[in-house]
Structure 1
Amino acid sequence: MGKRPSRSPAPGTYTVWARALGTPGGQAKITTCATDISLTTPAVICSTLNEVFVRETGGSKFRNVTDALTTITLDPVADAAAVTACGGTTVSLFDPCLQGFFWQYDNNGLKLLQVRFYPKGA
């Protein structure tokens, strides 16, 4: 179980960068999720990896969040059916083995999260 080549070129064509802005003190967490269609009753599964943003005092800097926001890392025990259907524990965004990809955004007082997409190599 591990990484396999992506069946969809989309995640590999850009990088994703994010930073927390606004009044200091807030935080937010983003997790990539999708629907596991390999189950008898489809269910939402989320990556075991996420990105946490905390707005502290001073200037905030962008950080590269490409891997966390363009892949889902599956739990090999809890998501065993999806691991089998997808051929590994790391699934690229828009891989057809899962459907309805989305970012679960848990906001705890962060006023603004700035997310930027850049073409790879730019």
Structure 2
Amino acid sequence: MKELTEQELHNLAMNIVGKELEANGFEFMSVNSELKKNPQFVCLKEKKMHFVVVKAISYPGDPKDTDFFRADLNKMRDHALKFEAETFYAGVGLVNAVEYNLPVYLNEEYIVDYDGLIKIQ
């Protein structure tokens, strides 16, 4: 069994968020899958620009907790304002489906904890 790397977990989270954005009518202007380089998605919807920061959160982390990333999110929000854009956080919890304390493995079942975009005010 091969444990997914931090980059692979990040890519998985981006795929989950990207599918949701696409299904909700967002048009992708740019996509960045490089770790620690924000935002991951710059999108247009209804002529409004949106910056989306995606984070893969491993168990026991809480994907809805923005406190850990607050400084990065505030910096991204301030940058987005220059473009009259809105900033969103997409925390995607990923956990091994068989044993929560084990890592997520390649080609093994996992559970996704993702409740959608959180607007950064």
The alignment's TM-score, normalised by the length of structure 1, stands at 0.28
The answer to which structure has the higher strand fraction is 1
- The alignment's TM-score, normalised by the length of structure 2, stands at 0.28
Q: Report the structure number with the largest CA radius of gyration.
A: 1
- Which has the bigger relative contact order, CA under 8 A and spacing at least 6? 1
